[in-house]
């Protein structure tokens, strides 16, 4: 029945500014009205809708105003540089500074590497790459650099 996630939505204060930002992430603008824009994440499979609203300052909670974009392992390793080239700063997440990212999330029994940043309205955005999708040992959250060292030591 369910084939995947097709769309997600975020509130924005200034749609034109947000269109520029999401275009800088190399997402393709799919549809635009005066108060709404859709960007393809994967053309024909998933997109994100940006809604211009006065309610864009809704307090952040992980269940609200957050989107994680799936990237591959090589892209996650270059994510900070890629964002910096676009003038986008990595933000502290889970106590890990931008310098310590990508970080590895222990989504037991899985592992994912992630980098966190904000859009112009403070919506939480994430690049995430699966690292280990089979049962494994428990571990604490760590930097990808630490994860790589741990994998070599095995």
Note whether 90 and 100 are within 8 A (CB).
no
Beta strands in the chain (DSSP E): 7-12, 28-33, 36-42, 46-52, 66-70, 103-105, 111-118, 124-132, 142-143
Q: Tell me the pLDDT of the chain averaged across its residues.
A: 91
Q: What is the pLDDT of residues 83-136, one digit of tens each?
A: 999 999 999 999 999 999 999 998 877 889 999 999 999 999 999 999 876 666
Work out whether the CA dihedral 44, 34, 117, 74 comes out positive or negative: positive
Share of the chain above pLDDT 70, in %: 95
Polymer length of the chain: 154
Work out whether the CA dihedral 125, 127, 131, 133 comes out positive or negative: positive
Q: For the ranges 12-16, 52-56, 80-84, 91-95, which has the lowest average pLDDT?
A: 52-56
Domains annotated for the chain, with CATH where assigned, are 1-56 (3.10.180.10), 63-154 (3.30.720.110)
Q: Is 4 left (phi over 0), alpha (psi -120 to 50) or beta?
A: left
108 vs 30, residue with greater confidence: 30
Cis peptide leading into 102, omega within 30 of 0?
yes
Band of residue 151 on the pLDDT scale cut at 50, 70, 90: confident
Band of residue 153 on the pLDDT scale cut at 50, 70, 90: low
Q: Check whether 76 has a pLDDT greater than 80.
A: yes
Q: Check whether 62 has a pLDDT greater than 80.
A: no
């Amino acid at each position: 029945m369910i084939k995947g996630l097709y769309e997600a939505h975020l509130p924005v204060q200034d749609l034109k500014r947000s269109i520029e930002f999401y275009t800088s992430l190399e997402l393709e603008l799919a549809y635009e009205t005066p108060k709404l824009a859709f960007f393809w994440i994967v053309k024909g499979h998933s997109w994100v809708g940006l809604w211009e609203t006065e309610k864009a300052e809704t307090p952040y909670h992980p269940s609200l105003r957050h989107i994680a974009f799936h990237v591959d392992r090589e892209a996650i390793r270059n994510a900070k540089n890629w964002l910096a080239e676009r003038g986008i700063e990595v933000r502290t997440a889970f106590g890990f500074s931008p310098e310590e990212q990508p970080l590895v999330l222990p989504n037991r029994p899985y592992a994912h590497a992630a980098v966190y940043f904000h859009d112009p309205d403070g919506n939480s955005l994430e690049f995430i790459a699966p690292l280990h999708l089979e049962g494994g040992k428990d571990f604490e959250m760590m930097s990808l650099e630490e994860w790589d060292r741990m994998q070599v030591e095995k």
